[in-house]
Structure 1
Amino acid sequence: MSHSLAISRRQSALLLLPAALFFTAFFLLPMLRLFFIGASGQLGWSAYLAIVTDANYFRALWTTLAVAAVTTLLTLVISAISGVFLQRHAFPGRALLVSALTLPLAFPGVVVGFMVIMLAGRQGLIGEVFALFGGERPVFAYSLAGLCMGYVYFSIPRTILTIMAAAEKLDPRLEEAARSLGGSPWHVVRDVILPGLRPAFVSSGAICFATAVGAFGTAFTLATRIEVLPMVIYTEFTLSANIAMAAALSFSLGAIAWLALALARSAAGSTVAAAG
């Protein structure tokens, strides 16, 4: 018995070896290298405190987190309503609509940024519509609103498919029981559907938040008047040649994204969807 157990452990170790080598070579070693480079500048290890002690870095951090939080909230609301509806209703063109909603996955962030400019820039479609009716052209592509629009656009595909899959597993008998007990449609949504979709909200919301925190291409295209942390890192690295600070900020930003994903995994793992 012990001999077979030892063989099983060796086989498990051999199966895990490729994943361990990949993780070490492409994640662990680069992150360790980045971590030590962050402390190689004039500030030393204090560079890792600069993100909260330096006013400019701290402001960029809070702007980044605020944009990511608003993006996550808007994305979850849109994806929840659309995902549940698409999962429960069959109509002509449904498959095409789902494909269109997931299309932004194929677009780089720069392309998404230019699309926002085409909509809400100085010569954008929204401004043209307002001008057609004699109104003033609204230009918000280069503001926090435009940045959120771009982030929401490429975040919806990352959440709507997860929510559709979770909605498919909801037990319809629970909703029927709630209705038979006199529950209004709002009570059914609040007490049955939303709790059942909670694991999907947590997991997909964390991915959305982490993606928005570290997004660079869209921010590079749109963030001309605002400072988010990816743009600050880019400026420190390219314009100021402050490689140590850029590395420290990059490591800190990665740690924030990892923490969000880790907390979401823990929270989602402790809940069970109402599935049949």
Structure 2
Amino acid sequence: MPAARLIALPAEKGWQTYFAVLTDSHYWWSLVNTLLLSATVTVVTLVLGAAVGIFLARTPFVGNRILLGILTLPLSFPGVIIGFFMILLGGRQGLIAQVSDDLGLGRVTLAYGLPGLFLAYLYFSLPRAISTYHAAAQAMDPALEEAACSLGAQGWPIVRDVWIAELAPTTLACAAVIFATAMGAFGTAFTLASKVEVLPISIYNAFTNYADFATAAALSLSLGLVTWFVLFLGRKLDASVMETR
């Protein structure tokens, strides 16, 4: 029932409301900001998450599990808390502002625009990628790398033909989840997005500040369709990769 109501609600204001995200430049740029932010966070998270996760899985040392636990701790933090952390680091009274002011550079702030959102999203996305790649790397058969080495492969060929190939399903699944999570993240954006607007904030403003429920529903549908498409594409690509193995 709630989903049906969400779909039908924009029609009360006219069918063109369904395309508000495309016809209104404000909402269009909100969508563009959200897509670019989510895509950038996804790519950087996959690179860093894979490097750290695989390293921890393949390099035993004292405190390995403790370090893994610390790195994945942000999984338990709500978005508002992560936003607060970012303000403590890059806000007007944050550490970066204090250090830059002491150096005579003025009070540099990062928290309230796209840089702050990027760092905050990266902070809550990395633990998921690290734990996922860590588990996948531990489950890999060491014989695959040994066989590649016995055939004379070294360095990049092993990374390309063994690691990237074997972890492709993990990468696709992780990318889809991280992108979808970043697209719909609200708590962090609500805390930080005072200089830039992303789609979840546009939805919140539409129904809270302007009581424009039809537009809020249309924007919600747009956000849901994009997220659903990415998750669907991830599943299809994952199935295709599994069929070719």
- In the superposition, the TM-score normalised over structure 2's length comes to 0.93
- Partner residue of 2:204? 234
Deviations 1:142-193 (A, max 9, x none): 1111101111111112222221121122222222232233323222112210
Q: 1:244, 1:124 → 2: CA distance? A: 39
> Is 1:36 matched with 2:8?
yes
Q: Residues 74-113 of structure 1 correspond to what in structure 2 (within 5 A)?
A: 74-113=44-83
Query: Which structure 1 residue ranges, 4+ long, deviate > 6 Å from structure 2?
Result: none
Q: 2:15, 2:44 → 1: CA distance? A: 37
Which 5+ residue runs of structure 1 have no aligned equivalent? 1-28
SS at match of 2:140: coil
Q: Residues 133-212 of structure 1 correspond to what in structure 2 (within 5 A)?
A: 133=103, 135-212=105-182
- Using the TM superposition, name which of 179-188 and 149-158 deviates more: 179-188
Flag the 1:259–1:133 CA change in 2: closer, same or farther, 3 A. Answer: same
TM-superposed deviation, 1:264: 0.5
| Maintained 8 Å contact 1:170/1:274 | no
- The letter for the 1-side match of 2:84 is F
Deviations 1:201-227 (A, max 9, x none): 110111100010011110011100101
SS at match of 2:72: helix
Deviations 1:15-46 (A, max 9, x none): xxxxxxxxxxxxxx3211111112222xx221
The CA RMSD over aligned residues, in Å, is: 1.9
Looking at CA atoms only, which structure, 1 or 2, has the larger radius of gyration?
Answer: 1
| Maintained 8 Å contact 1:127/1:136 | yes
Q: Residues 40-55 of structure 1 correspond to what in structure 2 (within 5 A)?
A: 40-41=12-13, 44-55=14-25
| Maintained 8 Å contact 1:142/1:224 | yes
| Higher relative contact order (Cα pairs below 8 Å, separated by 6+ residues) | 2
Q: Residues 218-233 of structure 1 correspond to what in structure 2 (within 5 A)?
A: 218-233=188-203
- In the superposition, the TM-score normalised over structure 1's length comes to 0.83
Identity of aligned residues (%): 49
- Partner residue of 2:31? 61
- Partner residue of 1:127? 97
Q: 2:114, 2:101 → 1: CA distance? A: 23
Q: 2:165, 2:61 → 1: CA distance? A: 27
Flag the 1:130–1:176 CA change in 2: closer, same or farther, 3 A. Answer: farther
Flag the 1:187–1:126 CA change in 2: closer, same or farther, 3 A. Answer: farther
- Using the TM superposition, name which of 190-199 and 126-135 deviates more: 126-135
TM-superposed deviation, 1:52: 1.1
- The letter for the 2-side match of 1:182 is G
Flag the 1:141–1:51 CA change in 2: closer, same or farther, 3 A. Answer: same
| Maintained 8 Å contact 2:101/2:108 | no
Count of aligned residue pairs for this structure pair: 245
Q: 1:37, 1:110 → 2: CA distance? A: 29
- The letter for the 1-side match of 2:3 is M
SS at match of 1:187: helix
Which 5+ residue runs of structure 2 have no aligned equivalent? none
SS at match of 2:49: helix
SS at match of 1:190: helix
- Partner residue of 1:266? 236
Select the residue among 181, 184, 197 that pairs with 1:214: 184
| Maintained 8 Å contact 2:21/2:28 | yes
- Partner residue of 1:10? none
